[in-house]
Structure 1
């Protein structure tokens, strides 16, 4: 069964809204801290709560998707996430914000993995990475809009407006996704126990999950702290958000290029390209956090995301086809748990304005990540595929 244009468009809009909600907070960290009278480290921790709950909830969405259906789980999760986003907009304290954003992250966590599983169920392996990079169009637009729009809203109105918008858009999507057909899968779905046993017994699957964890620390960490890093150099929230918005445009352009390259290049080459871009970008920001430098960094990190992340995501849909939903959910969980723990680890450095040290650490992690993932993916072949 091949993916039809309408389902892909609906999934792109879904990823746009969920990404918009996920990346709305980083450009507003300083504005939220000032409005709520809280230290930046507390607001960074609140943002980390979103990613942590987002990541920890991933396996549950994988099990639920197998049990109740991809589309039903997606619609119910967006309904609850939308309500929680509306409630978070009224948060009077940083603690209330951390709780409501964390819960919203848990339910928004079903959006992108469900879309990815849907493509894994409906698109042939040979064209799957191209479809997944197409899905990144929604991610790119959501990131760009959140990065530029949230910072602007924080400057001219209120940071609360961003969550009012994503909450409302999520509720609208609940009705729009009623048109999305449920994919037809062969055989009975795997049970949670059998899926977890299969994952535990598959060294290559565990390795892919480890790559996702480290990638979350490096790429999502670099992106989350990009706005406050730029603001630490004297830029306004609007300028910092606009600089970060370049990342979204980079993902948008890079996704089309990487989609075409995926038909001709081995995924290992794309992983190496992405890791090299990540290492170069984080090295640059370790040296300078000026807006002009950050624009180039945003371009490089956007290329890193589309080249390396899409390759690792596609790999996650292939390593254990019989337990695809659970593996993809664990992959997303590892990614965001890595991001959350990484944010907690560097919160003190960020609060002290030592962004050069933070980004030097990201660069140091990007190199072994890229080399290890490149080597492992080059040696791995799909079951039944000739080496």
Structure 2
């Protein structure tokens, strides 16, 4: 991939931090039935635990990205990874569902900036020409954790308890913090430099655009690259919304336990890693829009496979669903991140944070809306709605991204 040893060290260390933040949320999916049983609530009601993490996780990403632009990315990462560890241990101690939800909100607030700030820092470290490939590797490692944590979390939940699972992932967050503290401040950066005279500089010497936070965020989100950010919103709504329901769906429709469902969902992580390594080749052959189209088509394959599970009660199509969903997501989200950095190169932390806002807040909204759809129409209705939305994204979003490429 042409990275120096220092750059590779930075990419994989930050990827591990992202892995822990993704794992911290998504191991909960196969553990939801056990959590619901222990706390005396319905399994569908326990999905609020996912929403409680994802919504602040998405909403605060632009804030954390801006803080990283202003005060230095690694300094901000030290604080938020430490907060992630503390919040996860608090979840392990929560005696009731409301307190667990509150602890998840706290954890999501701290974890919010890990991916956005890491993506911006990696962009600084490798430079624009290798940014897409570096972000793809970073996100491949990150979301490998999302998939693998499902299996590991399910096993720990069955062998010990869901509280032990939270404690184990809290310990992983402490390991991530220790590795992060060992990174040099520069990380092999080929970008950056001093701010020009008269401009405000951030903690690493880059110029920071002026104006209030909401003004700057709105200018970027609704500016020339708005198609990128709007596609990010629908990506989170569909991909993360669908993934969040897989554990309870396989439990209720196929009778699978936490370990069995988690092992199936591990394929998501495996294909995230595969997708992260091949996204650069697809992009070189077909461009960023081609990468996104392949990702969206893979998402449709995943949803069709889940519909087959709903219709037959067989769990085997879920293997394809988990793998296709991971492959599709890891092609789509990092490509949107790379495109977003061109919206304002002076504020790449804010740009990547806005992608995180769209994707992860969208995932939280998808979990909340999905519960209503399941209650009204069942899982078949949920998969039909997800397929319709993703097909709309493929057509309408594809045209908008094509128009953006022509303007560029």
TM-score, normalised to structure 1's length?
0.93
Match of 2:356 in 1: 332
TM-superposed deviation, 1:198 = 4.5
User: Which of 43, 46, 49 is matched with 1:46 structurally?
Assistant: 49
1:175 to 2:167 alignment: no
Does the 8 A contact of 1:279 with 1:363 survive in 2? yes
Q: 2:276 aligned with 1:276, yes or no?
A: no
Partner of 1:229: 249
* Residues 281-340 of structure 1, C-alpha deviations (whole Å, 9 max, x = no match): 212312324321111111211121122222112111222212211111111012111111
Q: Which residue of 2 aligns with 1:203?
A: 223
Q: Could you list the per-position Cα deviations for residues 12-32 of structure 1 after superposition, in whole angstroms to 9, with x for gaps in the alignment?
A: 211121121121111111110
- 2:29/2:244 contact within 8 Å kept: yes
Match of 1:185 in 2: 192
Aligned position for 1:68:
71
**1:218 corresponds to which residue?**
238
Unpaired runs of 5+ residues, structure 2, are 196-200, 202-206
Q: Which residue of 2 aligns with 1:134?
A: 137
Structure 1 residue corresponding to 2:40, chosen from 22, 37, 42 = 37
The aligned runs of 1:1-387 (5 Å cut-off) are 4-183=7-186, 185-186=192-193, 187=195, 188=201, 189-191=207-209, 193=211, 196-201=214-219, 202-232=222-252, 233-289=254-310, 290-350=314-374, 354-381=378-405
- Mapped partners of 2:15, 2:352: distance in 1: 18
In structure 2, distance between residues paired with 1:35 and 1:7? 40
Cα shift at 1:375: 2.3
In 1, the alpha carbon distance for the partners of 2:39 and 2:172 equals 25
Which stretch has the larger CA shift, 70-79 or 304-313?
Answer: 304-313
Distance 1:192 1:218, change over 3 A: farther
Q: Distance in 2 between matches of 1:332 and 1:43?
A: 24
Sort the Cα spacing of 1:216 and 1:125 in 2 relative to 1 into closer, same or farther, 3 A. same
Worse-superposed segment, 3-12 or 320-329:
3-12
| Contact 1:134–1:256 (8 Å) recurs in 2 | yes
Instruction: Give the superposition deviation at 1:203.
Output: 2.8
Say how many residue pairs are matched.
384
Q: Is the 8 A contact 2:144 2:268 kept in 1?
A: no
**Contact 1:286–1:358 (8 Å) recurs in 2:** no
Is the contact made by 1:44 and 1:343 (CA closer than 8 Å) also made in structure 2? yes
* Contact preservation (8 Å) 1:15, 1:111: yes
Q: Is the 8 A contact 2:302 2:324 kept in 1?
A: yes
Classify 1:278/1:141 alpha carbon distance in 2 versus 1 (closer, same or farther; 3 Å): closer
Matched residue SS, 1:221: helix
Runs of 4+ in 1 over 4 A off after TM superposition: none
* Contact 1:281–1:296, Cα closer than 8 Å, also in 2: yes
Whole-angstrom distance in 2 between the partners of 1:194 and 1:380: 26
